[in-house]
Amino acid sequence: MKKFNILKGIPANLPMMNVDTDMIIPKQFLKTIKRTGLGKGLFFEMRYDENNKKIEKFVLNMEPYNNSPILIVGKNFGCGSSREHAPWALLDFGIKCVISPSFADIFYNNCFKNGILPIILDKKKTEELIQYSERKENIEINLTEQEIKFGNKRIKFTIDPFKKECLLNGLDDIAISLEKSEKISSYENKLKKNKPWLN
């Protein structure tokens, strides 16, 4: 997993409420267990018409938002099923940060496990960022400082310290376990010695 610290980019906004994981990545794209290639299916039913042609007015089909690494969304984003393909699709598309007044719990935690920073801001601050996104200017997200910089303004955000450290160091669940490999090996060796009948 790539380390996350400072992210700069023009944010795209999709201020819909209750966007569920099936809207983020429809079920027909769930046949793979690979984390790559899912970007093409991101918001598929909103990005494409019945003839698989791009809907020009959809925000992620418009310049410069089609290259946005930051997505601003409405409350309760990522609700519905617990499919981990949802953050995989966002990341494969190039989105590394999602800002919302609230997230579904499982989606929120899955983001951290896949190197995406989900930021919770109140509705007023979220709307302020949405308005700013229409200027098509960069904002900066600094995870170390826990702040968003845009224009002459700064917005602070909160984050769980452990999740923050994992993102800063690029650690997913497997990497966290591997950091303790020496202790695990030591425990297993002691177990073999003291209780050989378990092996």
What pLDDT score does 187 carry? 66
Type of residue numbered 155? I
User: Do 133 and 12 touch, CB atoms closer than 8 A?
Assistant: yes
Q: Could you tell me the fold of the domain covering 6-198?
A: Aconitase; domain 4 (3.20.19)
For residue range 152-194, list pLDDT tens digits in order. 999 999 999 999 999 999 987 655 655 566 666 676 667 677 8
| pTM (2 d.p.) | 0.87
Residue 105 exposure: Cα atoms within 13 Å on the Cβ side: 0
Which residues of the chain have a pLDDT value below 50? none
